[in-house]
Amino acid sequence: MDYQFTIIVPLYNEEANLLRVEKELGKYLHEASLKTCVLFVNDGSTDNSLELVEEICSRHSEFKFISFEQNRGLSAAIKAGFDHTLTPLVGYIDSDLQTDPEDFELLLKEIGDYDLVTGVRTNRKDSFVKNISSLIANGIRRSFTQDGMDDTGCPLKVIKTDYAQNIPMFKGLHRFLPAMILLQKGKIKQVPVRHYPRIAGKAKFHVMNRLVGPFIDCFAYLWMKRNYIEYKIARKNE
Say what the pLDDT of residue 168 is. 83
- Whether the pLDDT of residue 206 is over 60: the answer is no
5-18 pLDDT, tens digit each: 999 999 999 999 99
Lowest mean pLDDT among 43-47, 115-119, 188-192, 221-225: 221-225
Q: Is the Cβ–Cβ distance between 90 and 107 less than 8 Å?
A: no
Q: Tell me whether strands 5-11 and 89-93 are parallel, antiparallel or unpaired.
A: parallel
Number of H helices, E strands in the chain: 8, 7
Of 28, 184, 47, 42, nearest to 103 by C-alpha is 28
- Calculate mean pLDDT across residues 204-232: 69
Nearest to 207 by CA among 97, 127, 141: 127
- Dihedral angle computed from the Cα positions of residues 144, 147, 148 and 154, in that order, rounded to the nearest 10 degrees: -100
Instruction: Answer whether 26's CB lies under 8 Å from 102's CB.
Output: no
Q: State pTM to two decimals.
A: 0.82
Give the pLDDT mean for 27-56: 97
Q: What is the pLDDT of residue 149?
A: 78
Higher pLDDT, 225 or 55: 55
Q: Which structural domains are found in the chain, ordered by start?
A: 5-227 (3.90.550.10)
Q: Using CA atoms, how far apart are residues 21 and 14, in angstroms rounded to an integer? A: 10
